[in-house]
Structure 1
Amino acid sequence: FPAQVGRLREHGAGLVTSAATATDLALFHREAREAGLRPRLITCSRWLTYPHTHTTPAPDVHGELADARVATLVYWSPGHPYRSSLDGTTCAELAHAYRQDTGAGWLQPLCLAHALVETAHHALTVAADPTDRASVAQTLAGTTLDTVAGTLDWTRAPAPNIALLPLVGGQWQHGPGGPRLAVVGNTALPDVPLTGELTPAR
């Protein structure tokens, strides 16, 4: 990435945002570091859900990206203040159960999978005729439901059949067990506790 690195240095860029793969982002970070370009913050849209250790086995990539301290958006964490509409399971309990059952750490899509079941249960329970597609679709279009992913409201979204989730700021930070997604900014959702401080790339 010599051309990109040179242009960013020329303009004194302090923030880099991308949709790169883990391998490409690690290569960019190494070339930037070697050229003396040290952006204070790097964000990557591909890292909304999974740590880089899930996408590549290469240890040199892991080391480079641990140094880059990539930031991202967070739509769910064990600290979010929500409960399942099915059985009252909290976010922390869901994350703990997932770890107990799989031995793996929590991932953001866990809440969406659970909320999908909650939404299906609600629609099939409330629909005038749960065997009729139009009836179920009509029920979903008018649904507002508190789930383990938060309040899903299909009646107020900017487009039909969409429910929005509030976002907080996160950063992949290196820890003893590998990358950890820390919540570092909660302005839009103060009830979500911070679990780390935003730290610039080294």
Structure 2
Amino acid sequence: MPVFPRGHTLVDLGAYREPADGFHAQVERLREHGAGLGTSAATATDLALFHRQAREAEVRPRLITCSRRLTYPHTHTTSAPGVHGELADACVAALVHWSPAHPYRSSLDGTTCGELAHAYRQATGDGWLQPLGLAHALVETAHHALTVAADPTDRASVAQALAGTTLDTIAGTLDWTRGPTPNIALLPLVGGQWQHGPGGPRLAVVSNTALPDVPLTGELTPVW
């Protein structure tokens, strides 16, 4: 089993087919190794099943992360109330690349992150979602590239303009010139956790080490 620089040991709990019939084998392996953190790419339904069976066996990691839960609350992926209850109790942790509290503005009209989130709620009746900021930033990037390209009707010209773009957007500074490979722009990430709120799942920012300008909106809550 690999050991990472910070001393964490990775334990593979075993593969399964979706949708899963059960996670008893994985729960027992969790018990065997005393794993304190769990991470996966499970669907909301499978993650809820794992959480329920681990809870019933009194074998629960102190924290669960899941890549399929990075952007959308579980209420957007399934209508099953049992799933909602389990995942609300699981307090799944996630990486956060955008939130209404991020200190950025649109390069198009100066709209803040908070104003964009509010406008989205007013227009749809739904709460903000992480992809909202990146989708807006991509529109800003496209507008910039078409504006500065020598010939905005020529694909090669637009691609060349994009490759040389560094732009302050509502998602932060997108620098397409630095890499790590050509035509890739990176964003700093903060730590978040899906917590239960009066209006349903709430993605709270619980760690801002990589981006101190983003205010914390909650405290990390262990499952146990």
- Residues of 2 paired with 1:26 and 1:113: CA distance? 29
Report the counterpart of residue 135 of structure 2 in structure 1: 113
Report the counterpart of residue 49 of structure 1 in structure 2: 71
- Structure 1 position 5 matched with structure 2 position 27: yes
Higher relative contact order (CA 8 A, sep 6+): 1
The sequence identity of aligned pairs, in percent, is 88
* Pairing 1:1-202 to 2, within 5 Å after superposition: 1-202=23-224
| CA drift at 1:116 | 1.2
What's the secondary structure of 2:119's corresponding residue? helix
What's the secondary structure of 2:94's corresponding residue? strand
Give the letter for the 1:30 counterpart. Answer: R
| CA drift at 1:160 | 1.4
- Residues of 2 paired with 1:33 and 1:113: CA distance? 38
| CA drift at 1:16 | 0.3
- Residues of 1 paired with 2:169 and 2:85: CA distance? 37
Give the letter for the 1:105 counterpart. Answer: G
What's the secondary structure of 1:123's corresponding residue? helix
Q: Deviations over 1:38-78 (max 9, x none)?
A: 21100000011100000000000000111110000000000
With the length of structure 1 as denominator, give the TM-score of the two structures: 0.99
Alignment gaps of 5+ in structure 2: 1-22
What's the secondary structure of 1:174's corresponding residue? strand
| CA drift at 1:157 | 1.4
What's the secondary structure of 1:182's corresponding residue? strand
- Residues of 2 paired with 1:41 and 1:189: CA distance? 22
Q: Which runs of 4+ in 1 moved over 4 A?
A: none
What's the secondary structure of 1:72's corresponding residue? strand
- Supply the RMSD in Å over aligned alpha carbons: 0.7
Aligned length: 202
What's the secondary structure of 1:161's corresponding residue? coil
| CA drift at 1:117 | 1.1
